[in-house]
Amino acid sequence: MTGAVRVAVIGAAGRMGLAIQDVLSRTSGAVLGAAIVEAGDPLVGKPVSSGQGLYQAGMESASSGADVCIDFSSPSSTLETARICSGRGIPLVIGTTGFGAAEREELLVHALRIPLLLSPNMSLGVHLLAHLVGTAASVLSGYDGEVVEIHHRLKKDAPSGTALYLAEAMARARGVALSEVGTFHREGMTGPRSSGSIGVMAVRGGDVVGDHTVYFLGEGERVELTHRATSRETFARGAVSAALFLAGKPPGVYTMNDVLGLPLQGGEPA
C-alpha cells in the first residue's frame, strides 16, 4: 500500500478512541481517516481533538475514507462494524472485549473475507507475559495457578479478556481446556481447591488502567508474574501498530503475536 494508511477509529470519543487519535497524530505512515461515534452523540459534526476532520455518526458513511478500521466500542457495535468491513473489504482491528461464543463465531466468519485482528490487549508486555506464563505452567506443572486482574470501576465486563487470555495460556501449556478447569467464582463452603483448576478473579475500583498477576502457588513457595499498565497510550500504540500490520494482508484471523513475532500462547479470547 502506498501513501499513509487511513485509519477509521470506531468509538472515537471513548477513552481508548481518544488515545488512538493522539497516537495517530504522531505516527509516520498513518492518518486518521474517520472518527466515528454513535448517532446522536453531541460530538457529531464537531472537530476531533487532533484537528484531523470531524466526528461522524455511523460506519456506513465513514468507511469510504478508511484503509483499516480500529474498533474499541461494545460487542454489538463491533459486530456491526465487522459486517460493514467484511462487505467492503476493509481490514479490522478489534480491541473490544466481552464477546459471547456466538458473537466470536460470527467474527471468525467475517475473517474469511477480510484480515481481522482480535485481541483483548494490545500491549507488548502482556503478550510477553503470556509467553512467560506458558513456560512457567509447563515447568511448574504441579503448582496451583491463579489469575487476578484489577480494572477501573467503569469497566463493564469481568473477568477481563486479558485475564482469560493469560488463563488460556496456562491451560494450553498444561494440555487442558480452560472451559473445563476454570474457576470464576468462590463463595460459601466451597471445599478444598480442586487439583488442576485455574482460578480467574476480578477486582474493580478507582481508575486502574489494568493490572494482571498470574500466581503459581506450590508448597513453601510461590511465583508471581505481573503486568501493570499505567497509561492507555500503551494499548493505543499497539492498536495503531496492528492497523499498519493488517494493511494489505490477506483475509484471516491475526493476533498481536503475529504483529510482534511471538509464538501463540492461549487463544486470544475477547
Q: What does the chain come to in residues?
A: 270
Query: Are 122 and 239 a contacting pair, CB within 8 Å?
Result: yes
Q: In what order do the strands lie in the sheet with 55-57?
A: 55-57, 30-37, 5-10, 68-71, 92-94, 115-118, 252-254
Assign residue 264 a region (left: φ > 0; alpha: ψ between -120 and 50; beta: otherwise): beta
- Candidate list 110, 127, 131, 151, residue with the active-site label: 151
Backbone angles phi, psi at 58, to 5 degrees: 90, 145
- Candidate list 155, 212, 227, 249, residue with the active-site label: 155
Task: Return the C-alpha torsion angle 46, 94, 252, 166, nearest 10.
Answer: 160
151 carries an active-site annotation? yes
C-alpha grid cell, residue 223: 511465583
Kindly list the catalytic residues: 151, 155
